[in-house]
Structures are given as C-alpha cells and as structure tokens.
C-alpha cells in the first residue's frame, strides 16, 4: 500500500481530532487550527486525486485489522477525492469570507465552539464522501445534522432559534426514514457493507424475491435524504435557516451540507442498490416530478421575496430541484449533469451569499430591496461578484451555470416520456431565475447617491476581497474548463460500478 493511499483516513481522523483539540483552545488558536486543517485536507485530497488519476483504479482501505464485511472500510475513487478537494475549497472560502461577520454576530466566548462545529462538519462530509459502509454513513449523517443545527443557531436571535428547531425536526424525520430504510435493507441482505449489499440486492432482483420491501426501502432512503437536502415539498425549513444564520454558516449549509447528502444518495444509487434497479423502480419518477415542481415553485417563492438573503435561499430550492430532476431522468448522462450541477451550484450559491453580505453592509445592514439601490457602486467588488453569481445562476455562457443547464438539456433530449416536461420546465425555470436575479442586479446598479451609507473598497477588507476574487475565478473556471471536469465525473461514476 502506497503512503498516499492513507490520505482519506488521515483527512477524516485529522478533522475529528482538530475538533476535539479545539474544545480546549482559545478562539484565535481554534481559528488558525481550522484554517490549517482545511488547507491540509484539501492538499491531501489533491494529492490523492493526482495519484488516482494516474492509477485509474479505486481502492478500499481497512479501518482496523479486519477485512471488509466484519470491520469498517472506506473507499476512494477519482470522484470521491475530487469531491473532497472541492468541498475543502468551498469551505475555506466560505469561512474566510464570513470571518468578519462572525465577529459581529456571534458572542466571542462561543467562537471556539463554532470552529469545533466546522471541524466536525468537515469530518462528517469527508466520511460521507469516502464511506463504503451504510452504517458508518448513518453515524456521520448524525454528526452532520447536529453540526448544521449548531451552525444555524450560533447567531442567537429568535429567528435563528426557530429556524434551528424547524431544521432539527425536519432533518431528524429525514434521518429516521433513512435509518428505517437501512434497517430493512439489512434485514433483506444481512450486510451493511455497500458492495455486499449490492450483490445481495442483485440476487434478490433476479429471483423476484422481496420486491415489496425492496421498493419501500428505496423509497424510504430516497425520501429521507431528499428531506435532508431540501427537495421541494420538504423545503419549508430552508429559507429561515439559510436566511438568518451567520453568513459563513449559510454558505456552508447551502453548498456543503445538502450536497453531502445528495452525494450519499448518488453513492447509494450506484453502489448499494445498483443503477439498473433504481432506473427500473418508480421512485425516480417521483423524484423527477418533485424536482420539476421545485424548479418552478422555488423560483416563484424567490420572486416574491423582498429580502435578498431569503431570495437567494429560495433559489436553492430551485437548484436542488434541478439536481433531483437529473436523478429522475435515470440515465448516465443525467447523473453526470446532476453531479456537475452539485459543483456549479455549490460554487455559485456560496459566492452569492458572501457577496450579498458585502452589499447589505453598505446599505446600513438592511436586506430589503429598496435599501439596496445603488449598493453595487458603494461596494464595487461585491457588486461584481454578485453579478457574476447571478449570471451563472441564470445560465449565461462562460459561467458554470450555463454548462450544467446545457448538460441537463442534453440529458433530457432523446428521453421518450420525460423529454418535453424536462425541457419546458428548464426553459420556464431559466426565465424565472432571470426575473429575480436580474431584478436584483439592476437594482444594485441603479445610480443612487446615499450619503448615509458608507463605501467599502477592496483596500478596506483585503481578505473579503480576495475571497470574492477566488470565488469568481472558481466560477469562471468551472464554466470554461467544463470538458475535463465532465470527463472526470464520467470516470468517477464508472469507477463506482
């Protein structure tokens, strides 16, 4: 075994260990440790990605002295390593971008607790990405849920506490359904390890045995994880949770936490149930319909909002709808489009949250649209960044959102039944996106001299400005270099099989 192959294990255990150490560190030291941790894990994931691109072969890693069905095991392929790297980049940028806001919104004596939550959140995301065992996945889903709850309510006002309670209830319902599905699956197959379950399920499908419980299980797991990642009818917890929490929490919740669950669902589709059985089942049709509804209704709610943060939050509902629509198509290319959209949405949504904060800061802290008039002139970089994010969300060429929309179109073409609904709703949703994002962009560039509002330039907040520039570069890079990225996703998904 090569040394580089230890890296997935190192990254998980390092992030858990940093969380434990942070509990006795003062806030400043905890912050440095957190930044160092994210950078280290990112570097290790990059090295692993390099190594795996060379070998083109996924490998499993024993967690202990016992082989697979008895002990725990993790597994790393190209897609896993790349996802880990991507999550680290987004997390680092979100933390740096929201650092000043954190100081202004959270009691200083609780800052080191915040960094514990972030460290453990990273560990759970990494474990969800790398795990090869369903029960390990469940344990880290728990950590993820509790960490997300803490991230929401660390800014203590009535709204966030209410949002956290709502999030907790919905999210625990999701975990419960997922656990029920997992139990049934164990009862049917006698395994918790993903590859063994897949063999057993394939056998069951061949013998036509236990078809009813198998279908219920697929439903329970899909719906459980859909609730946790805020698919349309289960999205009611989302706008408050993203809209009122402190900005780095909002960025991480929208671009990492929900994406972690979606990635787990993809993993379950490919490595636990088997893609053929999933496509044959009716469950993906349900996901398809919910996805389409989310694309329309999420955007409609966003148009109605008069609060920029809540508008961006509702736009997440629409984007999650896109991802589930890709699942619902039930084709390989649909999956590729969904995975690409995970990346593109994560990069764009965190950019939007972070830049919106810059705009509200120069409007006396107000998030209402009428106060944001001309904010793009008062904080130029944030204005440019918000425009880039909006253009990307609408799907203008050169930015990441365009590529994912193109991939979704390609995926839906040639599908017998689902082609027309998918294309029509895609077009409709693009128009709706344009309505509310362009409305905001026009609003922030309407000339308006307001002597009562301060002006913030890049010189004043160097770190924030650097973060925004990095986000913009990431977004454009995803849009311009889509060819190798799509190729990487394809190889990664084929390594799953």
> Is position 424 an interface residue for another protein (rule: CB under 8 A)?
no
Q: Output the 3-class SS for 218-249.
A: HHHHHHHHHHHCCCHHHCCCHHHHHHHCCHHH
Task: For the segment 219-258, give every residue that binds another protein (CB under 8 A).
Answer: none
- Whole-angstrom CA distances from 110 to 121, 148, 204 are 17, 16, 52
> Is position 280 an interface residue for another protein (rule: CB under 8 A)?
no
Task: For the segment 131-150, give every residue that binds another protein (CB under 8 A).
Answer: 133, 135-136, 139-140, 142-143, 146-147, 149-150
User: Kindly report the CA angle at 321 between 317 and 325, in degrees rounded to 5?
Assistant: 175
- Smallest distance, another protein to C-beta of residue 469, A: 11
- Smallest distance, another protein to C-beta of residue 446, A: 8
> Is position 19 an interface residue for another protein (rule: CB under 8 A)?
yes
Q: Figure out which of the listed residues 65, 206, 414, 484 binds another protein, where binding follows CB under 8 A.
A: 65
> Is position 488 an interface residue for another protein (rule: CB under 8 A)?
no
Q: Figure out which of the listed residues 32, 39, 50, 104 binds another protein, where binding follows CB under 8 A.
A: 104
- Smallest distance, another protein to C-beta of residue 192, A: 8
Q: How far apart are the first and last CA of the chain?
A: 23
Q: Rounded to whole angstroms, how far apart are CA atoms 88 and 178?
A: 26
Q: What is the secondary structure of 169-233 as a DSSP string?
A: HHHHHHHHHHHHHHHHHHHHHS--BHHHHHHHHHHHHHHT-SHHHHHHHHHHHHHHHHHHTT-GG
Q: Rounded to whole angstroms, how far apart are CA atoms 252 and 131?
A: 21
Task: For the segment 324-383, give every residue that binds another protein (CB under 8 A).
Answer: 373, 377, 380-381
> Is position 29 an interface residue for another protein (rule: CB under 8 A)?
no
Torsion, CA 124, CA 84, CA 320, CA 238, rounded to 10: 40
Q: Rounded to whole angstroms, how far apart are CA atoms 378 and 443?
A: 13
> Is position 1 an interface residue for another protein (rule: CB under 8 A)?
yes
Q: Rounded to whole angstroms, how far apart are CA atoms 374 and 372?
A: 6
Strands 72-76, 59-63: pairing kind: antiparallel
Single out the segment in contact with another protein by CB under 8 A; choices: 1-9, 260-268, 302-310, 317-325.
1-9
Single out the segment in contact with another protein by CB under 8 A; choices: 38-46, 56-64, 396-404, 427-435.
56-64
The secondary element (H helix, E strand) that includes residue 438 is helix 419-444
- Smallest distance, another protein to C-beta of residue 224, A: 12
Single out the segment in contact with another protein by CB under 8 A; choices: 88-96, 189-197, 234-242, 426-434.
189-197
Q: Figure out which of the listed residues 200, 289, 300, 423 binds another protein, where binding follows CB under 8 A.
A: 200
- Smallest distance, another protein to C-beta of residue 102, A: 9
- Smallest distance, another protein to C-beta of residue 409, A: 36
> Is position 413 an interface residue for another protein (rule: CB under 8 A)?
no
Q: Rounded to whole angstroms, how far apart are CA atoms 232 and 241?
A: 15
> Is position 33 an interface residue for another protein (rule: CB under 8 A)?
no
Whichever of 17 and 488 has its CB closer to another protein, that residue is 17
Whichever of 169 and 427 has its CB closer to another protein, that residue is 169
Cβ atoms of 308 and 439 within 8 Å: the answer is no
């Amino acid at each position: 075994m090569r040394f580089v192959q230890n890296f997935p294990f190192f990254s998980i255990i390092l992030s858990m260990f940093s969380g434990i150490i942070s509990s006795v560190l003062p806030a400043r030291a905890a912050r440095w440790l957190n930044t160092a941790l994210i950078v280290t894990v990112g570097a290790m994931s990059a090295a692993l990605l390099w190594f795996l691109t060379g070998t083109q072969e996924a490998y499993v890693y024993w967690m202990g002295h016992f082989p697979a069905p008895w002990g725990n095991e993790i597994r790393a392929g190209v897609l896993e390593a790349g996802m880990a790297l991507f999550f680290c980049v987004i997390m680092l940028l979100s933390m740096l971008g929201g650092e000043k806001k954190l100081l202004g919104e959270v009691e200083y004596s609780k800052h080191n607790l915040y960094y514990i939550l972030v460290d453990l959140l990273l560990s759970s995301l990494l474990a969800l990405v790398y795990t090869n065992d369903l029960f390990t996945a469940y344990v880290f889903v728990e950590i993820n849920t509790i960490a997300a709850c803490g991230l929401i309510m660390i800014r203590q006002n009535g709204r966030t506490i209410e949002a956290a309670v709502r999030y907790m209830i919905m999210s625990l319902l999701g975990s419960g359904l997922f656990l029920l599905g997992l139990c049934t699956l164990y009862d049917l197959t006698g395994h918790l390890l993903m590859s063994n379950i897949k063999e057993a399920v394939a056998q069951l499908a061949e013998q036509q045995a236990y078809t009813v419980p198998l279908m219920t299980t697929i439903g329970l797991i899909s719906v459980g994880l859909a609730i946790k990642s805020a698919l349309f009818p289960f999205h009611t917890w989302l706008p408050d949770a993203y809209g009122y929490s402190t900005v780095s929490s909002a960025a991480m919740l929208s671009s990492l936490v929900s994406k972690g669950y979606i990635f787990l669902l993809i993993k379950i589709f490919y490595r636990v149930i088997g893609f053929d059985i999933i496509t044959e089942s009716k469950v993906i049709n349900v996901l398809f319909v919910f996805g389409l509804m989310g694309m329309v209704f999420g955007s409609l709610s966003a148009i109605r909002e008069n609060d920029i943060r809540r508008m961006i939050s509702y736009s997440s509902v629409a984007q999650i709808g896109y991802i589930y629509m890709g699942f619902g198509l039930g084709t390989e290319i649909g999956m590729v489009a969904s995975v690409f959209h995970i990346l593109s949405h994560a990069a764009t949504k965190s950019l939007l949250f972070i830049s919106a904060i810059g705009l509200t800061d120069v409007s006396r802290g107000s998030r209402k649209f009428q106060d944001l008039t001309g904010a793009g002139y008062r904080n130029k970089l944030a204005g440019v960044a918000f425009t880039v994010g909006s253009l990307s969300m609408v799907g203008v060429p050169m930015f990441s959102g365009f590529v994912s929309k193109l991939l979704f179109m390609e995926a839906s073409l040639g599908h017998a039944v689902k082609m027309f609904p998918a294309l029509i709703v895609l077009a409709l949703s693009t128009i709706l996106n344009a309505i509310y994002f362009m409305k905001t962009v026009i609003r922030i560039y309407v000339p308006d001299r307001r002597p009562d509002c301060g002006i913030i330039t890049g010189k004043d907040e160097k770190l924030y400005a650097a973060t925004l520039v990095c986000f913009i570069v990431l977004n454009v890079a995803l849009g311009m270099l889509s060819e190798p990225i799509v190729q990487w996703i394809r190889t990664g998904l084929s390594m799953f099989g």
